[in-house]
Amino acid sequence: MKWLVILGLVALSECMVKIPLTKIKTTQGAIREKQLLGKFLDEQSHSLSQNSDPDKKFSSHRLRNFQNIVYFGNITIGTPPQEFQVNFDTGSSDLWVPSVDCRSPSCSTHKRFNPQKSTTFQRLDQKIELIYGSGSMKGVLGRDTIQIGDLVITNQIFGLSQNQSSGVLEQVPYDGILGLAYPNLAVRGTTPVFDNLKNHKIISEPVFAFYLSSRPGNISTVMFGGVDHTYHKGKLQWVPVTQASFWQVAMSSMTINGKVVGCSHGCQAIVDTGTSLLVGPTHLVTDILKLINPKPMLDDQQVLSCDVVNSLPTLLLTINGIVYPVPPDYYVQRLTQEICFLSFQGGTETNHFGTSENWILGDVSLRLYFSVYDRGNNRIGLAPAV
């Protein structure tokens, strides 16, 4: 979520513009989000069934796909439960939702937690500030009961935002964020949700997994405590985590048409469900965009005619000796029938992940590959999604 991207659409003189990553210099725009959200809500249907084995502490939890841009699901907080939509984010470690004390415009467009209506809420004195690629929040910590599907955590510390930046956080269709990265990224003195699930043996295995579908009718899901192998094809290929903070792995190359376009001497990649795009160093991303899209539309290197998508090359990512193809159908976002958008973004050089070249593998690639996050062995499993 440090690099969450929302692609915003607005018709201005028949021009499509986008909301970019914070700190990245690119086209600015607004989002006609209410129209998109209305369409999205109409598309929702049945949820996935839960695992039927009572001895196996496993929970499969439905996620909603908003325009192939962001995935989120329901949790409840408090007694009686107050329901919220949250982004399950492997790129951060904190849980927070808006508070009734928040008067920022970005809070007023979302559900807000009311501590006075929860008999189990405990207010803590500690103030917090969290900064993401999509904005920031300031607030306080509290403690209460959290429920994700049939998984219940008591006395979970979480954030209550009292001030949120406008912009992307105001427009997103979810209320808050539930971070699933390692605990050293969390607010000091707090334990992330997944660590409490693991430490209190609420789940039987210290793993979670994501199936992020782009196909109509396929319900996306996050699963805790185990893996439903019906969501992937072939064996899971395990990749060691190189630094236990983000879900960070070593990547050996990125090629297009046999040409090395990134990671020429090896690099680090963060696997991040809270990022919409494939993000890398600006100069390399610029070269990739010029290679893929030599004749951009609207004076924007990321915008192209949808007529040419079928002729675009496949991006090949090599991770731990395995090649993971990303075809154009996945790295191109269709904005209208005629206008498409290349889902690459620069800017990782503004953050320091410990190496000179870093990439963030967001939902662009995770829609293709079922992903398993194994805290017990500090590794990520990848396999083609069904």
Would you state the structure tokens that stand for residue 97, as one six-digit string?
Answer: 């939702």
- What one-letter code names the amino acid at 219? I
Q: Please give the Cα distance from 142 to 158 (Å, whole number).
A: 6
Dist. CA 176–CA 334, nearest whole Å: 27
Cα gap 140→97, rounded to integer Å: 11
Q: Omega into 296 within 30° of 0, i.e. cis?
A: no
Return d(Cα 44, Cα 47) in angstroms, integer. 9
Q: Which residue has the tokens 């090359």?
A: 313
Q: Which two tokens stand for residue 78?
A: 């408090």
Active site (catalytic) residues: 89, 272
Region at 155 (left for phi over 0; alpha for psi -120 to 50; beta for the rest): left
Which candidate, 378, 381, 375, places its Cα nearest to that of 205? 375
Phi (first) and psi of residue 119, to 5 degrees = -75, -10
294 upstream amide cis, omega within 30 of 0: no
Please report, as a single letter, which amino acid is at residue 174.
Answer: Y
Q: Dihedral, CA atoms, 360, 18, 89, 162, nearest 10 degrees?
A: 130
Helix, strand, coil % (nearest 5) of the chain? 15, 40, 45
Starting from the edge strand earliest in sequence, which strands make up the sheet with 303-305, in order?
A: 303-305, 339-342, 332-334
